[in-house]
Structure formats: C-alpha cells, structure tokens
Amino acid sequence: MENKPKITIVKIGGNIIDNEEILNGFLKDFAALKEAKILIHGGGKTATKIAEKLNLKPLFSNGRRITDKAMLDVTVMTYSGLINKQIVAKLQALKTNSIGFSGADGNAILSEKRTNSEVDFGFVGDVISVNKSLISTLLLQNITPVFSAITHDGNGQLLNTNADTIASEIAIALSETFDINLIYCFEKKGVLADSEDDDSVIETLNFEKYQSLKAEKAIHSGMLPKLENCFKSIENGVQNISIGNQNILKDSTIYTKIKL
C-alpha cells in the first residue's frame, strides 16, 4: 500500500494569538515544519476589544459567543481581516508562502446557520462540507492555507464558526488522501486531570477514559467541545491527534495524545 503524503494541521487558540511574543515563537516553529501544513485560528480577545470600542456588548452562553448582526461584522473584520492577514504576513517573513482564507474564499468551507439548539446563537454556522480539492491543490503547490473561523452558507451569508470544528472537519475531509497530524494548540500543556494543576497532564487519553472523566466532571468544561472534535476526527480516519501548548511542535514537549 502506497504511503500517503503527510500534512500537519494546527489550530491555535486565542491566548496564543493575544500574546505577540508567544505567537511569533509558535509561527517560527510552524514555519520550520518540513511537510505540508495548514493553520486554523480563532480571534482571541481582539474581537471583544473592538466590539467594546464600538459600544457593543459581547454576549456568551456557556462560553460560546452569541453572534448577532453587529457582532458578526466585528468577527468578520477581526478574524478574516486583521488577525488573518497579520498571521499571513508573519509567515511570509518566515519564508512560508501562505494564503489567508475565510470559508467563503474559493468556496472552501460551506456551513449552515445553527438552528438545532436551545440557545439562539445568531449567525453561527455548523460545517456542511469542505472543498478538499481546492485545499489539496494549494498544498501540492507548497502553499500554506491559513483559515479564519468564518464560513459561508452558499447564499451570501457569512457565519461565525467554531475554529476547533473547522480544524476537525478539514482534517476529516483530507484524511482519505493524506496522512494527517492534527494538533490543537492552546495555553495549557495538554488535557489536565486537575484543572487547578497545570502539570497534571494526561499524556494519553482514549474515549473510555474521556467518558469516565467527563462523568466525574474532572475535565474543564471549556475543553469538552475540543475533545468532542478530537474523537469525531479519530473515528473518521484522522490517526494522529494531540493537544498541547505553543511548544507542542518541539519534540521534547509534554502534551496529550488522543487515542480511540
């Protein structure tokens, strides 16, 4: 059986984006990766700060942003504009040729407005499909796609979309053609057995152990959507998944490996 070409897909969290020194260090490590790669990012605190300058009050439900029309404008400007282009420019300086994308660009990620929820999240999208042909073509041309957390519905409507989910859906879509290494990178060293102890990293987490820790409410609630995306990915052909901090691209780092 022929070996599939390797791709590293990395999603970076807001606490990395918000700290320029940490972001610059991470992007240097990311640019140094030899294989094809994709970067997905959210918006950190920047969208909230810009909203406050515009006298808009950000709304959340269980840690998830509610996106009304005014907040959608802010997230599009911030995620797909300011942050995306800053990251692309930094990667160009590191000799990594990259292109910034929202889901609308090249019809890269099609979503539908979320309706199956007790809470009305507004203009929030759930991914329907990923344009794997487009992404594969770019990767084969040695171009690194950089995705913001904005998608579209195919009818002219942009939608704010969870960046962890975007990373998972891209990984699943490309897993038939490529050997995927999916990495979730945020401020902690990995999934913690004790959310108060930053050194209590669970080095290997399988689904059975996850279900047990979830039942015990031992895992921080903010980690649950990320882990749901991890296990969905691994069930759909993504073999290598890990969660850790900005040093995760370095060999000697402690992090959590996700297993089925």
**Distance separating alpha carbons of residues 110 and 11, to the nearest angstrom:** 19
Phi, then psi, of 59 in degrees rounded to 5: -115, 140
Q: Rounded to whole angstroms, how far apart are CA atoms 177 and 141?
A: 15
Higher-confidence residue of 260 and 204: namely 204
| Pairing mode, strands 144-147 and 36-41 | parallel
Residue 154 DSSP label: S
Instruction: Judge contact between 118 and 110, C-beta under 8 A.
Output: no
pLDDT in tens, 172-193: 999 999 999 999 999 999 999 8
pLDDT of 222 reads 81
- 236 in a known ligand binding site: no
Q: Which alpha helices (DSSP H) does the chain contain, by range?
A: 14-17, 20-31, 46-53, 69-75, 84-93, 132-140, 163-174, 207-215, 224-235
**What's the CA angle centered on 49, arms 124 and 62, to 5 degrees?**
45
Q: What is the mean pLDDT of the chain?
A: 94
pLDDT of residue 58: 81
The pLDDT value recorded for residue 63 is 65
Residue 1 has pLDDT above 60, yes or no: no
The one-letter amino acid code at 117 reads S
- The model's pTM is 0.95
13 annotated to bind ligand? no
Instruction: Map out the domains of the chain with their CATH numbers.
Output: 6-187 (3.40.1160.10)
b vs e for 125-161, b when ≥16 Cβ sit within 10 Å of the residue's Cβ? Answer: bbbeebbbebbbebbeeeebbbbbbbbbbeeeebbbb
Q: How far apart are CA 15 and CA 21, in angstroms?
A: 11
**Predicted local confidence at residue 43, as pLDDT:** 87
d(CA 181, CA 187): 19
What pLDDT does residue 217 have? Answer: 87
Residue pair 195/201 in contact by the 8 Å Cβ criterion: no
Q: Is 44 annotated as a binding residue?
A: yes
When pLDDT is averaged across residues 203-218 and rounded to a whole number, the result is 92
pLDDT of residue 93: 98
pLDDT at 59: 83
Residue 155 labelled as part of a binding site:
no
Query: Tens digit of pLDDT for each residue in 86-140?
Result: 999 999 999 999 999 999 999 999 999 998 778 899 999 999 999 999 999 999 9
Pick from 4-8, 65-69, 157-161: least confident? 65-69
Q: What is the mean pLDDT of residues 36-55?
A: 92
pLDDT in tens, 217-254: 888 878 888 999 999 999 999 989 999 999 999 877 89
Task: Measure the CA–CA gap between 168 and 150, rounded to whole angstroms.
Answer: 15
Residues 6+ apart with CB under 8 A from 64: 121, 124, 162, 225
Cα 8 to Cα 64, 67, 155, 192, distances in angstroms: 27, 30, 31, 24
